[in-house]
Amino acid sequence: MFDSPFASPPFPAVAWNFLEPVGLAGLAALLPIIALYFLKLKREERVVPSTLLWKKVIKDLHVNAPFQRLKYSLLLLLQLLLVALMAFALARPFLSVAADTGKYVVLLVDTSASMATKDAGGSTGKTRLEKAIEDARQKIDDMSRVDEMQIVAFDEDVRQVCPWTNDRSYLKKVVSELEPRHLRTHAQEAFETALAMAEERKGSEVLVLSDGCFDRLSLNKLLGESVQGTNTEEASLARLRKFRFVKYGREYTDNVGITGINARTRLVRQAGEGGARVDTLETQMFVVLENFGLDDVKAILTLTSDAGVFAPVIKVVELKGRQRGLESLDGNADGSTLESARSSEAFKLPANFQGVVTAAVRTEAGADNFPLDDRAQIVVGGAEGMNVLLVTGVNYFIEKVLVVMRGVKVDKMTPEEFEKDWNQRGALSVAEYDAVIFDGCAPPRWDDGGAIFLGTLPPLPGFKYRDPKAPKGAEAAPPSEPVLLEWPRVIDWDVAHPAMRYVNFGNVQIKQAQAWDLPKTAAVLVETSGGPLIAALESDRVNAVGTSFQVLDSDWPYRPSLPLFLRNSVAWVSEVSPRRRPTALKTGEVLSLPPVEGASTATLTWPDGHSEQVELSATRKMPVKGVNSIGLYRLTGIPGDGPDGRTFAVNLADTKESDNLAQASLQVGEETVEASPSAIEGKREIWRTLALIAVGLLMAEWFLYHRRLGL
Amino acid sequence: MALAVPTSKAPDLLTPEFMARLDALAVVSKKILAGKLRGERRSRKKGESMEFADYRNYSQGDDLRRIDWSLFARLQRLFLKLYQAEEDLSVYVIVDASASMDFGGVNKYDYARKVAAAVAYIGISNLDRVSLGVYSGDGEEHLMQDVRGKKQVLRLFRFLNGIKPQGQTDMQEACKRFIMRHRRPGICLVVSDFLDPNGFEGPLKALVANRMDTFAIHVLAPEEVEPELAGDFMLVDSETGERLDVTASRRLVENYQKTVRGFCSSLQQFCAARDITYLFASTDLPFEALVLNYLRTAGLVR
């Protein structure tokens, strides 16, 4: 067994040395000083009748003051000391507190969002990154002429901001320009990169300036390559010793933040004017609040709209404090404790609301130490009305049902037309629709939007045909063709599901239905003795309903439950309509600009005010990278859009970054890299102190000179 | 007394008005000093002057002309009338003309030779035998011996004016040589700053040993007593040229002043112990006042 490779040295070895020993040549200035001293003492001659009595006086003084001789030359001594101090200061002496700092240093600076926490630097309220930059500058100052350093910044990306150099001013400039980015931390890649860079130089080390708010690192991934090379545990651990971790921030936080924001829009039927019922879009918002502090807090959540469409909604949420010992959320944390620190709040927005909703949280005590997650925004709405595409051969009943739905615009395609369009444009062919009803046919895949599959297996993951005759428990490949069940008997139906509201399925007779195997995430809406008859699947981007029987193979068209079911289903699946999906991206995600016809470029304005021309395409979504700041992004210049253009909201919404308790150590597999503050205090230059002493001596000399003369 | 004094020749030493005031003075000695010639001085001896002093009984062989016959007529006994003897007095003036005396706002040597001139003038006026010894340079001796009568005043002044202070003087050697030439006891006035590396004791002892009625006039300039120095100086000894680095602080100056006072005090004590009359003369004291008041108080002149 080996001793822990990361144990701090027992006591830092204090040693003197000089960064610029050539400065000691300044000691040669002592000789001219001595010469100057004698020249300076070319005294004024004064003729006296006799020096007899003067000699006697001086003799008496010498007798009375044995240190008179010393006193006499005190000024000279002071001056010599002064010059010596200055020469020492020029030689840039330093105190070597930890002598184990390498000559080659890879500075790995964490610029993730959590580094913006204002809990470093004592009462000055500096952010962690500001303190880290300050320390890095100190470290750069401490470099001697032959030392080299390179700087790697990491958050979601790993950036080599400065290659190996000993140009101190350049290094300082580069490190000073680092800013916390509103991004998550991908530490693994950064550590691997830094280690690889460090191994370019012998005797190098990686100085990690971070708060440690990221996932446990994988030791095997980090050291995997070398293990193959040297094949010994000791050698691989020696590589790990290259990492020196300097912790920023406190192991305490009072952060309360918004770690999730989402909204769902759905069509609801409401009583309108004159008692007529109208379909309106209703948006429900969800805000996830989390308390990372140890104390119970009352969080005040405020919801505002951008143009003041609705009065601000204020809600006070009591959040329990997190238990000590569960600070590391990736450990074996007790779920109930985590739940107690988190609260999901739902709000119903006014009907047909469109615009930006801003959620802001603060505690009763005031602002917390991490402001980035105190605010989150979401863009609601974006498209009016309800567009439904019906892909069917001839199904009079369904068409009739859809036509009578108010506020719904129905387009119809035959399966052949749809297939042609799909082959040309892919998913874009349905991008304009809130819901698509496939009657007896289906696209090859479905991964965005709402769809109703009537009598056909939804092309969704997990949906398979089933052979009811296959022995149970046997692992058999699902049949490629549907196995039909004759006259399946309805056992139960789920009236609680939104698609099944008011639907009575008890009187529906089905001639034949397909036997399906459903994924666990799917909900069975209607169950028969032979298996599921109607199923629903709900995911982030997809709401789908599937019936395993053709409508015309049943007496359903004659039942009132069919229009109810279709209306309910259209309303439910359209909740995920890409046309008006509320947008709230996370920082670092790729912003996809929708296909636009008639414009090849548009202007995208960042939250900080700077704007760029971005390319658009008529046939595909165009990705925009660099969406790294929290706030609203505006896309303007698209024909047909209003003057405000389109808005995208970007939030931090990341539990890992909001959980900004600084970690006392880094976990690398089963190993631990302890924080070693001395790594940054390696060389403490003291020339400023020496220069100050020299100035003090100068003043002392001045004072002594005048005091001796009794002026 | 009615001698015309050529005042125009000695304008810088003594003014006619001052000399007129000096005419009323005479040098006196506390001791009985035998004169060689009859002078104008009433000696403590009984002699043949016109001034009656005492009676004594007649004894055989006495001069019959001195018998007081009136008294014999009344008392039938013979008494002899005694008269005050009149004789001349030797007045010696020794002046230190070393380079250290050439100093001060009021020059110490000027001051010293004025005092010497005044005392010599008083002596000459009273037909005393006046001898001057001025010692300057390296053992250089200027002598003016046995001056008597006012006719010599001009010569005296010229003598004193003709000497420039310079060099280093060994006062002990000077006094010895002076005594060798002037064996006769008398009044000896020593005018000096007594800043002699060899000490002031030797010359004064030599004078006292030769039965001189010695007066020590200690001349110092105010600049010597209270120097105004601040800063770094190189002090140069005017006699020896010796150099001394001094950082004149307030403390050092205070110590110097204390040393000067101690030096004067030790000289005074030395003089008192040997029946030498000591007079301290700072050159800011007008020399007329010194002669007319202080010398009179000290008993040198009357």
Model pTM greater than 0.80? no
Q: What's the CA gap between B109 and A549, in Å, rounded? A: 149
**Nearest in space to A415 (alpha carbons), one of A430, A393, A446:** A393
Q: Does B233 contact A46 at a Cβ distance shorter than 8 Å?
A: yes
pLDDT digits (tens, 9 = 90+) for B209-244: 988 889 999 999 998 888 887 777 888 888 888 888
Cβ partners under 8 Å of residue B267, min gap 6: B194, B200, B216, B218, B278
Parent domain of B191: 7-28+88-298
Supply the pLDDT for residue B74: 93
Supply the pLDDT for residue A382: 62
A&B contacts, CB < 8 Å: 92
- In a domain? residue B35: no
Collapsing DSSP to helix, strand or coil, A499 comes out as: helix
Judged by CB atoms within 8 Å, which residues 183-222 of B form the interface with A? 193, 195, 197, 221
Please state whether beta strands A386-391 and A646-651 pair in parallel, antiparallel, or not at all (unpaired): unpaired
Q: With bands split at pLDDT 50, 70 and 90, how would you rate the model's confidence at A73?
A: low
Q: For the residues A403-421, what does the mean pLDDT come to? A: 86
Residue A413 predicted with pLDDT over 70: yes
Supply the pLDDT for residue A324: 52
Q: For the residues A365-370, what does the mean pLDDT come to? A: 79
Q: With bands split at pLDDT 50, 70 and 90, how would you rate the model's confidence at B11?
A: very low
Residue A573 predicted with pLDDT over 50: yes
Supply the pLDDT for residue A577: 79
In this predicted structure, which of A465-474, A478-487, A530-539, B285-294 has the lowest mean pLDDT? A465-474
Q: Does B249 contact A54 at a Cβ distance shorter than 8 Å?
A: no
Query: Could you give the angle at the alpha carbon of A457 between the alpha carbons of A454 and A459, nearest 5°?
Result: 115
- In a domain? residue B73: yes
Supply the pLDDT for residue A334: 40
Three-state helix/strand/coil letters over A53-112: HHHHHHHHHHHHCCCHHHHHCHHHHHHHHHHHHHHHHHCCEEEECCCCCCCEEEEEEECC
Q: Which of A55, A60, A711 is nearest residue B244 as measured by Cβ atoms? A: A55
Do B13 and B48 fall within a single domain? no
pLDDT digits (tens, 9 = 90+) for A199-247: 888 878 888 888 888 888 887 777 765 444 555 667 777 778 888 888 8
Q: Look-up: residue for tokens 């469109």?
A: A354
Q: Does A46 contact B108 at a Cβ distance shorter than 8 Å?
A: no
Do B13 and B146 fall within a single domain? yes
- In a domain? residue B2: no
Supply the pLDDT for residue A456: 92
State which residue of chain A sits closest to B165, comparing Cα positions. A49
| Ranges A7-21, A398-412, A678-692, most confident | A398-412
With an 8 Å Cβ cutoff, the interface of chain A facing chain B consists of: 41, 43-58, 60-61, 72, 708-711
B229: contact with A, CB 8 A cutoff: yes
Structure-block tokens of residue A471: 């022995």
Do B18 and B58 fall within a single domain? no
Q: For the residues B100-111, what does the mean pLDDT come to? A: 89
**Nearest in space to B242 (alpha carbons), one of B284, B290, B197:** B197
Mean pLDDT of chain A: 80
| Largest Cα span, chain A | 147
Q: What's the CA gap between B134 and A417, in Å, rounded? A: 150
Q: Does B250 contact A50 at a Cβ distance shorter than 8 Å?
A: no
Supply the pLDDT for residue A41: 62
Bigger pLDDT: A672 or A556? Answer: A556
- In a domain? residue B80: yes
Q: For the residues A329-353, what does the mean pLDDT come to? A: 64
Residue A2 predicted with pLDDT over 60: no
B246: contact with A, CB 8 A cutoff: yes
- In a domain? residue B156: yes
Crossing angle (nearest 10°) for helices B108-125 and B153-161:
170
B224: contact with A, CB 8 A cutoff: yes
CA A598 from chain center: how many Å? Answer: 36
Q: What's the CA gap between A394 and A374, in Å, rounded? A: 54
- In a domain? residue B36: no
- In a domain? residue B34: no
Residue B167 predicted with pLDDT over 90: no
Residue A173 predicted with pLDDT over 60: yes
A61 to chain B, closest Cα gap in Å: 8
In this predicted structure, which of A13-22, A444-453, B121-130, B205-214 has the lowest mean pLDDT? A13-22
In this predicted structure, which of A119-123, A353-357, A428-432, A505-509 has the lowest mean pLDDT? A119-123
Do B135 and B183 fall within a single domain? yes
B233: contact with A, CB 8 A cutoff: yes
Bigger pLDDT: B171 or A37? Answer: B171
Which residue among B87, B105, B124 closes a domain? B87
- In a domain? residue B287: yes
CATH number of the domain that residue B254 is part of: 3.40.50.410
Residue B113 predicted with pLDDT over 60: yes
- Cα end-to-end span (Å), chain B: 16
Q: For the residues B166-170, what does the mean pLDDT come to? A: 83
Do B69 and B54 fall within a single domain? yes
Q: What's the CA gap between B217 and B108, in Å, rounded? A: 12
- Helices within A605-686 (DSSP H only): 655-658
Q: For the residues A157-183, what does the mean pLDDT come to? A: 88
Residue A328 predicted with pLDDT over 50: no
Do B60 and B102 fall within a single domain? no
Q: With contacts defined as CB-CB under 8 Å, which chain B residues touch A709?
A: 230-231, 247-250
E strand spans, A37-157: 44-48, 93-96, 104-110, 148-154
Bigger pLDDT: A324 or A150? Answer: A150
Domain count, chain B: 2
Bigger pLDDT: A47 or A710? Answer: A47
Q: With bands split at pLDDT 50, 70 and 90, how would you rate the model's confidence at A338?
A: very low
Do B67 and B99 fall within a single domain? no
State which residue of chain B sits closest to A64, comparing Cα positions. B255
Q: What's the CA gap between A264 and B192, in Å, rounded? A: 123
B260 to chain A, closest Cα gap in Å: 7
Residue A177 predicted with pLDDT over 80: yes
Do B177 and B259 fall within a single domain? yes
Q: Which of B237, B245, B249 is nearest residue A708 as measured by Cβ atoms? A: B249
pLDDT digits (tens, 9 = 90+) for B53-97: 788 899 888 888 888 999 999 999 999 888 766 666 888 999 999
Q: What's the CA gap between A412 and A662, in Å, rounded? A: 58
Q: What's the CA gap between A50 and B242, in Å, rounded? A: 9
Q: From residue A501, how far is each of A535, A541, A567 by CA, in Å?
A: 14, 22, 10
Residue A67 predicted with pLDDT over 60: no
Do B168 and B78 fall within a single domain? no
Residue A1 predicted with pLDDT over 70: no
Q: With contacts defined as CB-CB under 8 Å, which chain B residues touch A50?
A: 100, 193, 195, 197, 237-239
Mean pLDDT of chain B: 83
Residue A524 predicted with pLDDT over 80: yes
Supply the pLDDT for residue B32: 53
Residue A399 predicted with pLDDT over 90: no
Q: With bands split at pLDDT 50, 70 and 90, how would you rate the model's confidence at A708?
A: low
Bigger pLDDT: A116 or B10? Answer: A116
Structure-block tokens of residue A250: 């406190």
Supply the pLDDT for residue A341: 75
- The DSSP call for residue A67 is T
Answer yes or no: are the C-beta atoms of A264 and A284 closer than 8 Å.
yes
Do B265 and B213 fall within a single domain? yes
Residue A3 predicted with pLDDT over 70: no
Residue B34 predicted with pLDDT over 60: no
Q: For the residues A274-290, what does the mean pLDDT come to? A: 79
Do B98 and B196 fall within a single domain? yes
In this predicted structure, which of A390-399, B9-18, B22-31, B271-280 has the lowest mean pLDDT? B9-18
Q: Which of B197, B238, B250 is nearest residue A47 as measured by Cβ atoms? A: B238
Q: With contacts defined as CB-CB under 8 Å, which chain B residues touch A62?
A: none
Structure-block tokens of residue A70: 């010393």
Do B187 and B66 fall within a single domain? no
